[in-house]
Amino acid sequence: MSINEKRRAPVGVFDSGVGGLTVAREIMRQLPNENLVYFGDTARVPYGSKSKDNIIRYSRQIIHFLKTKEVKAIVIACNTASALALDVVQKEEDLPIIGVIRPGARAAVMATKNKKIGVIGTEATVQSQMYSKVMKAMEPEVTVIGKACPLFVPLVEEGFAKHHVTEEIIDFYLASMKKEEGIDTLILGCTHYPLLRSRIKEYMGEKIHLVNPAYETAMDLKALLEEMDMANDLQEKEHASYSFYVSDAADKFKQFANSILPYDIETTKQIQIEEY
């Protein structure tokens, strides 16, 4: 493969479902020349209640699938897989793989003034304490308060972001974070949660700074591709190409993706991920 072909190779992005589209959307915005292959593991979502062993197994299979698409780098657009599988797969693979936790942690450490940071995410992410470990390595003085919000994922996946029950569930999970913990920064530590951002913002109030790790992750990907001299330099008038794969319910995924991406996707293919 020539160097130009390598630069034009896509970036692989994956999540347990639609959540990672919030990261893909940010990559499309910040790196408009990059071709993307997205995989949503819709047959096995949610990852947040699964064991570490299974999340590592799922991540390995997805990476093997993405490698068949000749990707030049992979973004794990899932906090749960970033927390539990990134270190393992990074050691096994010969291509660059980045996750969303380090970029999100950095943004929160930069934003906090009182050094009290809240992290909301899946059971698995919160239990791993990965955000806390990474932030304390960057700034030992920070206090990190984690809270698992498992019902946020099905609310998003089922399109309930604007439904009134969502308000009650936000109150159920975030009341103590809002009233007792004294945080000034809150990390949306699950890629589904930015789709509830305005509801969470409304509830937490203007004074709490919300961090969406997607923004910093796209910045890190840009820096990584430039450092490797792998950024795509498309000729004028060419368009980046985006392909979407899922492990189940392709039509539902497509409909959802079309409601949040800046353009309409035409096809989503279903694959048998267990074969990889």
* Contact residues for ligand DGL, defined by CB under 6 A: 15-16, 19, 45-48, 78-80, 121-122, 125, 153, 190-192
Q: Which is nearer to ligand DGL, 9 or 145 (CB)?
A: 145
d(CA 148, CA 121): 5
Is there a contact between 185 and 112 (Cβ–Cβ < 8 Å)?
A: yes
Closer residue to ligand DGL, CB minimum distance, 185 or 191: 191
Is 152 or 242 the residue whose CB approaches ligand DGL more closely? 152
Q: How far is the CB of 6 from ligand DGL (least distance, A)?
A: 29
Best CA proximity match to 36, nearest among 252, 218, 227, 228: 218
- CA pair distance 128, 52, nearest whole angstrom: 9
- Minimum CB separation of residue 9 from ligand DGL in Å reads 25
Give dist(CA 118, CA 132) in Å, integer: 10
User: Which one from 78, 109, 155, 196 is the annotated catalytic residue?
Assistant: 78
Check if 78 is active-site: yes
Question: Between 125 and 268, whose beta carbon lies closer to ligand DGL?
Answer: 125
Which 3 state secondary structure label does DSSP give 261? coil
- CB 228, min distance to ligand DGL, A: 25
CB atoms within 10 A of CB 94: 5
* CA-closest candidate to residue 67, choices 22, 24, 9: 9
| Min dist. Cβ of residue 135 to ligand DGL (A) | 17
Q: Is 190 a catalytic residue?
A: yes
- Residue of 108, 190, 218, 230 marked catalytic: 190
Catalytic residues: 78, 190
